[in-house]
């Protein structure tokens, strides 16, 4: 499992090792570690060469794909889940077409209009977004979810009431849902109930909690 923290729209400086976006992901790593304990799961993080997305350079996507290629070299074709927040969520979704990727969990992902979704066909995609997010748009996540579902992904979106981009309010819920999704994607446990499609449901599944 690989974590991708957030970043800036533009920025070519090297991120400091303990920047706030990176620190924000540490409780997620701990929660995922607890949920997958005994399942022979490695929890790692993608190291970015730059602090920003940087337009057509898409630096975080390149870094994510390089990290996945490194996993192939070290461990072979191991099933992998990407978990990304904000800019990292966008990068995770973009890199979701890599052959190792079984699923993507996007936390308040940055989803500009017309973001590609074809690479997500055949993948499980879970999007979590706070309804009070002022940095990235939950409606944009919902729009991407619908398009990804149409493109052949298995998509659920959960809108967390009363919480924003930093994922500090209702932090335990953020951590538990993410860890539960990762555990399920790796075949180590059931999916959180709020993410499960109702019988006979057709189309993208969006719920609030």
In the chain, what are the domains?
Answer: 2-208 (3.40.50.1820)
- In angstroms, rounded to a whole number, what is the distance separating the alpha carbons of residues 153 and 124? 6
pLDDT one-digit tens code per residue, 50-97: 999 999 999 999 999 999 999 999 999 999 999 999 999 999 999 999
pLDDT one-digit tens code per residue, 89-138: 999 999 999 999 999 999 999 999 999 999 999 999 999 999 999 999 99
- In angstroms, rounded to a whole number, what is the distance separating the alpha carbons of residues 102 and 186? 8
Which pTM was predicted? 0.95
């Amino acid at each position: 499992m690989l974590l991708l923290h957030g970043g800036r729209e533009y920025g070519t400086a090297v991120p400091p090792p303990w920047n706030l976006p990176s620190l924000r992901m540490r409780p997620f790593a701990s929660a995922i570690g607890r949920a997958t304990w005994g399942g022979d799961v490695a929890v790692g993080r993608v190291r970015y060469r730059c602090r920003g997305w940087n337009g057509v350079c898409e630096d975080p996507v390149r870094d994510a794909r390089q990290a996945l290629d490194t996993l192939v070299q070290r461990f072979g074709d191991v099933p992998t889940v990407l978990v990304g927040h904000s800019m990292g969520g966008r990068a995770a979704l973009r890199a979701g077409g890599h052959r190792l990727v079984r699923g993507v969990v996007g936390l308040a992902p940055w989803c500009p209009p017309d973001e590609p979704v074809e690479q997500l066909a055949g993948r499980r995609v879970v999007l979590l977004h706070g309804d009070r997010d002022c940095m990235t748009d939950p409606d944009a996540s919902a729009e991407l979810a619908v398009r990804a579902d149409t493109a052949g992904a298995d998509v659920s979106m959960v809108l967390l009431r009363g919480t924003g981009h930093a994922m500090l309010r209702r932090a335990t819920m953020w951590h538990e849902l993410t860890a539960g999704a990762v555990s399920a994607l790796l075949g180590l446990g059931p999916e959180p109930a709020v993410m499960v499609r109702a019988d006979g449901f057709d189309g993208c599944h969006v719920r609030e909690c």
